[in-house]
A and B are shown apart, each in its own frame.
Chain A
Amino acid sequence: MKNKGTFYKRLVLALISVVLLGSFLAFSSTPDVLAQNDTEGGQSINALVMGQAWVTSYDDAGGLNDIAYVPFGNYFGFSTELSAYSGAVVDNISNSYVLNWRPNLVGSSMYVCGLRVAYRLPDGVGGYSSSFSYLHIPGSVLLPRTSSVNWSTDWTGGCIYLKSGSPSAVFNKHINIPDGSRIDYLRVYYYRASLGYLPLIKR
């Protein structure tokens, strides 16, 4: 009887230990594991929807030119991605410029936390400065081109996400870069959540 009681006691303690240890490991490492495996709830990240950010110039009559573009969302957690080289020269006489973001998904699983344009000022002799200048905005200053969507920010107020409405809605922000500058790159800073569930179910 005594041995049987001891056996059950140890069995219960072992069970508790396993559950607690499993929970701890899962809570602390699941995101990393998912990120390393490029999966979100079992999905490959390559199959997930990507956001888009780009710079557009307008000619005030419906004409446009998308001059720097970066799809993003290839990594979990806080991350950043960079456009390819653009090399577009700013012409403020004829064009206006905006930063754009298209979420392509609804919900807080992906935030845009910042956009940064790297440009070079003209050097006055036909070339450009050897160093970059930056125009850097938080995501939360972007606003939709249409009133038919709802949006919100994260805890900090710096990152933005689409709450409801068409995921194709475009958010924009006017930018003012000195005339004659050369826009080289657009960088986007974002946060992508990794969806993991504990302790018994992982989706």
Chain B
Amino acid sequence: MKVLVFAEQRSGEFRKAAMEALCEGRRLSSDGELVAVIIGRGAAKIAPNLAGYGPDRILCIENPLLEQYSTEGYGAALEAAIRQENPEVVLMAATSMGRDLAPRLGARLGVPVLADVVGLSFEGGMLQAVRPIYAGKLLMKVRSKVSPGIATTRLKAFPAAASEPSKQPSIQPFAFEIAASAIRAKVKQIQSEAEGTIELTEADIVVSGGRGLKGTEAFKMLEDLARTLGAAVGASRAAVDAGWRSHGDQVGQTGKTVAPTLYIACGISGAIQHLAGMSSSKVVVAINKDPDAPIFKIADYGIVGDVFEILPALTEAVKGIK
């Protein structure tokens, strides 16, 4: 069985999630063929970095019109690679790029997309997947009735481990032409967040604040703790709607779904929408002054008390063990 994986890169750096998709592609294809596709300038130069993740072949698409991501340009390029390779399965990570690209690709090929999956298998010649729905309140097992089966893999749901390759993958250029007029929506500029900001959905540790923080001041204490831990800062909907944090920090339904190794919820009561977005975290710590807060029912460890008193103590204690 042949699996094709789109290995996402920006400015010459592969996304960790691309490695997750690649490793899952390797597992699915087992003794079949795993083909990775890299799109963008310098693709061939960075291709060897994928070797440890198991691709048999790597196709590099380096058209100057594909220097920046565009849904139309990348969609057309990936379609061309798929029409040549004819894989049974196509995977990419469910990043902001993948979730924009996969539906474009699916509609170009006339096949549906199994979006944001947390489990994959190949049965009876068709791709089967488990997807969280209702922000993770339920899991839905689905099977594509058409081929190729396309899926986007949820971040951190699949392990990514490099190993010493038994043989080096063959790195091949893939010639792809596109008219400039075919790319209509164009990226003009990328505004980056402050250097050192850790992306919420990719962080190993997330420190989140809610209504109990009472304002932006306390979030500075939360940021101190996050810096000490190397964590990303999240927020509950209440904190976002109050204007204390930007919407991009919101964890939960109508926000982001996170699954870090450690999630520390500070002053968050644990509304069902919030719990849906963080319940897949490995270890959950809750700090709340209300001992009856629902968050304690799902937290591995809880401290009842005032976040204003506990947060600085926690930051100091973490410094002590580092």
Q: Are A and B associated in one complex?
A: no
